[in-house]
Amino acid sequence: MNAAGFPLLSLVTWLPLVGGVVIMLVRGDQATIDSNARWTALWTSLIVLVLSLVLWFEFDPGEAGFQFVEQVPWLAEYGVGYKMGVDGISVLFVLLSTVLTPICILASWESITKNVREFMLAFLILETMMVGMFCALDFVVFYMFFEGVLIPMYLIIGIWGGPRRVYAAVKFFLYTLTGSVLMLLALLAMWFQAGTTDIPTLMHTHFPVAMQGYLFFAFLASFAVKVPMWPVHTWLPDAHVEAPTAGSVILAAVLLKMGAYGFLRFSVPMLPEASQHYAPLIYTLSVVAVIYTSLVALAQEDMKKLIAYSSVAHMGVVTIGIFTFNVQGIQGALFQMLSHGIVSGALFLIVGVVYDRIHSREIARYGGLADRMPSYALTFMVFMMASVGLPGTSGFVGEFLVIIGSFQVSFWLALLGGMGMILGAAYMLYLYRRVIFGRLTRQDLRDILDLSPREWAVFAPLIVLTLWMGVYPSSFSSFFDASVAAMVQQHTAALAVPAPASAALTGPASASAALAAPPPASVALAGPVSASVALAVPASASVAAETAVPASAASPASPASWPGLTRPSIAAPCLIGGPVKAGDGNDGRVDGACVRSARL
């Protein structure tokens, strides 16, 4: 809730359903029903956008914890409750969802002519599920929203999609649902172990090492499909090609971010040892995705399919950044997720403009559009350059930070991950040249119209955001700086303290053996058991932890619960946003570098 006790998050989450009820109550002839459904959906989404802007303005960027927390008892005897809240990571994804929903409704104003009321209702339900998923602070509530997204998107693809829409919708549903079943099993295992489904509590619960191996792969099965990571990405091109334009926008801009958000919210903070141990696996899959899908994109003749494969490559950069476990890498991953949400959504809208006029997505069908559609060519160029990562656009900042973060892990990881920028320039310039330049030879292209005022209203906010994020990135990064610093500290501190060896579930033998060994540490005992732990970390972070633990302390569930614990501080160079305080940490300079210090 906000300072006045107003349930702002619940209102932002559930208000779209109120608009959906109003749409269902509309009566009259078909034209009246369609018109009222469009306007009701648009105004509802705009009101939700205004409320999310209030949330954005009232959010305190210097606070690393969750804000606007709302909690209502639900299944108290099982440790389950309705709990909502946002931190610096999730608040921007709430805003991304609420910004794109009215844009998608406006983009579908003329292209959707069949079952308009049902289409608008599906979109409002989808908005509720997306916002609720990013706000949920209870694992059961999160899972309900996480899976609830599938239903409206399945209907949007299956009813309003292209000729192979049923095949694409079923493939999308089966892929994503299968992975999510394994996440449900992980949820149950964590509930049996911790006795609660409260996400902040689980984030500070130190699960046994052997158990973490199984939990990590259960989460990986679910989140990798959503991202999607190679080789479970094959559902995405089919879904994008067959989905209507608005469906492709939401699919690329928001739904793909759900998997990466899951890694940040669950895998990294809750399973630190397993995440660290299996990071090379993630690097390998991500590098393959970046290079392989970029090469596949170069061979495409369908504009939508080319952009779909480019999305897999860009999300590969995101997963590399997340599993670098340093401030720059995770900051870059978050910035890349936001940028990709805007830019990829805009590129699908770009394809939708010419598809609505010519009804073809074949690249060879076009050419010379700059002569007849100069405004369209300029708009296309802005988003094409942002996708390539041109400095001054949103695409550059995230990829640059991820490369810096991955360089601290491995030179080869940075080199191979950075190949996406080179290959991305190749396939995007190839697409732009064939569609925009050349001779205008086809007669129907001679009569094609440039952007209409409605289409300008769709693209204008996306252009502003793309340039704003590129020119003034700290206005966005400052929201997640404190949360990222706290996450890196928590991860590093968790590795400094060995997890309990016994587990309710036994992990794979190889994982158990590899993860059971604690990091190098030096311990000195005197009087009451006091230990000085020094953890070797990458150059991006220096850690010093001083603890004084009574001899009676056994195996605590969380290092934060130890009596007399002085919380560790991490010093890392900050590249954007300037020094940020989290908790009661201090900021200073070490060797001339800006240092961000935070306490767990």
Q: What is the pLDDT of residues 408-426, one digit of tens each?
A: 998 999 999 888 888 999 9
Q: Is residue 523 exposed (0-12), middle (13-18) or buried (19+ Cβ within 10 Å)?
A: exposed
Mean pLDDT of 575-594: 37
Structure-model confidence comparison of residues 594 and 304, the more confident one: 304
pLDDT greater than 60 at residue 330: yes
Biggest alpha carbon–alpha carbon distance for the chain: 90
pLDDT given at position 247: 92
Confidence at 552, pLDDT banded by 50, 70, 90? very low
**Helix axes of 394-407 and 411-436: crossing angle, nearest 10 degrees:** 160
Q: What is the DSSP string of 18-54?
A: HHHHHHHH--SSHHHHHHHHHHHHHHHHHHHHHHHHH
Q: How confident is the model at residue 545 (pLDDT cuts 50, 70, 90)?
A: very low
Model confidence at 307: pLDDT above 70: yes
Weakest-pLDDT range from 108-117, 141-150, 201-210, 544-553? 544-553
* 184 phi/psi in degrees, rounded to 5: -65, -40
DSSP code at position 254: I
- The pLDDT value given to residue 541: 37
More confident residue, 426 or 551: 426
Confidence band (pLDDT; 50, 70, 90) for 5?
low
506 pLDDT higher than 50: no
- Residue 529's pLDDT is 33
What are the strands, taking DSSP E only, across 476-575?
530-533, 542-548, 565-573
- Residues in CB range of 93: below 8 A, 6 or more apart: 134, 254, 257, 261, 337, 338
Residue found under tokens 């804000």: 67
pLDDT at 511: 35
Q: What amino acid occupies position 236?
A: L
Helices (H), 209-302: 209-226, 235-242, 245-250, 256-262, 268-270, 272-277, 279-298
Per-residue pLDDT reduced to its tens digit, 200-250: 998 888 888 888 989 999 999 999 998 889 888 989 999 999 999 999 999
